[in-house]
Amino acid sequence: MSKKRLRIFAGPNGSGKSSFIKEFENTDPRHKLGVYVNADEIEKKLKEENVLNTNQYKIHFTTEEIQSFFQKSEFSPKKTGVSDLWKYFKIIDNELLVDERLEINSYISADLAEFLRQKLLESNISFSFETVMSDERKLNFLKKAKDIGYSIYLYFFCTVDPEINKNRVDLRVEEKGHSVPADKIEERYYRSLENLKEAIRLSNRAFLFDTSSVTFDKLLFAEVTNGKEVEVFTRDDVPTWFIKYVVDKQ
């Protein structure tokens, strides 16, 4: 039986996660994303046609399961102000159908992504997902995965200054990518870094990239094995965020 793996691509908005993922499987034949869960892609798909085929996630679930999840959710129903959000979802022939009267947004797609991740864990399926990792609930998720036998691979991307991230998101919007408010980018930048050390501790292997370069290069400067064995590849270019939030953080 092959080892079940969880790959998490994390870091502040505009740090280069998505562009790295696009090339990930091409860089090494051992690199496999498995099932890939991306809240932004879910949001885009549902905005286009209000239907999501669940076969791509290799899991099956019922209308009752998805509705129960949204009934219990403390996130999207509160964020959207739609207390009966659960009523807008149903499953027919392995397709998630969303009532067209519901306005899809990032809060709803984030909850849908969380539901899919939980179902994948229950099914012991290897998978990958992308996250800003600014919410401590992601750490709880990693701990749960570790406790049930997943090998966790963390790929963390960050720049030395949130202003860089803001500028990159602006560039992305010009190219018809999704927008994020500047204040949210900065807030999430620091919260993501605050969660980094614990995420490393929970990982079997963590790969740390600094993406501050104006050429958008992704510098792999360190790897951490089993949460404690640190190998630094380029001592002249160790970013300040790594020193502050990993080395010096208690």
28 and 54 in a common domain: no
Residue 156 falls inside a structural domain: yes
Residue 92 phi, psi (nearest 5): -135, 120
Residue 27 phi, psi (nearest 5): -85, -20
245 and 199 in a common domain: yes
173 and 49 in a common domain: no
Q: Of 116, 99, 143, 140, nearest to 39 (Cα)?
A: 116
| Residue that is last in its domain, among 112, 140, 159 | 112
Q: Any idea what DSSP says for residue 126?
A: -
What pLDDT digit, counting tens, does each position of 128-186 carry? 999 999 999 999 999 999 999 999 999 999 999 999 999 999 988 877 777 789 999 99
Distance CA 108, CA 70 (A): 9
pLDDT at 9 over 90: yes
Residue 188 falls inside a structural domain: yes
Residue 74 falls inside a structural domain: yes
Residue 117 falls inside a structural domain: no
> What integer is the mean pLDDT of 77-92?
96
191 and 130 in a common domain: yes
Confidence of residue 22 (pLDDT cuts 50, 70, 90): confident
Q: How far out from the chain centre does Cα 33 lie?
A: 13
22 and 6 in a common domain: yes
- pLDDT for 24 equals 78
Q: Of 206, 192, 237, nearest to 219 (Cα)?
A: 237
Q: Look up the domain containing 148 and give its range.
A: 1-34+126-249
Do 14 and 164 contact (CB within 8 A), yes or no? Answer: yes
Question: In 50-181, which ranges are continuous DSSP H helix?
Answer: 63-72, 76-80, 106-122, 137-147, 162-174
Residue 29 falls inside a structural domain: yes
pLDDT at 25 over 80: no
- pLDDT for 247 equals 93
Residue 98 falls inside a structural domain: yes
Confidence of residue 30 (pLDDT cuts 50, 70, 90): low
99 and 59 in a common domain: yes
| Residue that is last in its domain, among 112, 144, 176 | 112
- pLDDT for 227 equals 93
Distance CA 79, CA 83 (A): 10
> What integer is the mean pLDDT of 60-75?
96
157 and 58 in a common domain: no
46 and 93 in a common domain: yes
The CATH number linked to 14 is: 3.40.50
71 and 10 in a common domain: no
156 and 108 in a common domain: no
Burial 125-155 (b: 16+ CB within 10 A, else e): bbbbbbbbbbbeebbebbeebbeeebebbbb
- pLDDT for 215 equals 66
- pLDDT for 219 equals 86
Q: Of 180, 157, 137, 145, nearest to 43 (Cα)?
A: 180
Distance CA 131, CA 106 (A): 13
30 and 103 in a common domain: no
**How many domains is the chain built from?**
2
- pLDDT for 178 equals 73
Residue 119 falls inside a structural domain: no
Residue 120 falls inside a structural domain: no
Confidence of residue 55 (pLDDT cuts 50, 70, 90): very high
| Residue that is last in its domain, among 112, 145, 173 | 112
pLDDT at 123 over 90: yes
CA distances from 170 to 51, 130, 164, 177 (A): 29, 20, 10, 9
Return mean pLDDT, the chain: 92
* Portion of the chain with pLDDT greater than 90, in percent: 79
Q: What's the number of CA atoms in the CB half-sphere (13 Å) around residue 242?
A: 27
- pLDDT for 28 equals 65
- pLDDT for 216 equals 59
23 and 91 in a common domain: no
pTM over 0.85: yes
* Portion of the chain with pLDDT greater than 70, in percent: 95
pLDDT at 235 over 80: no
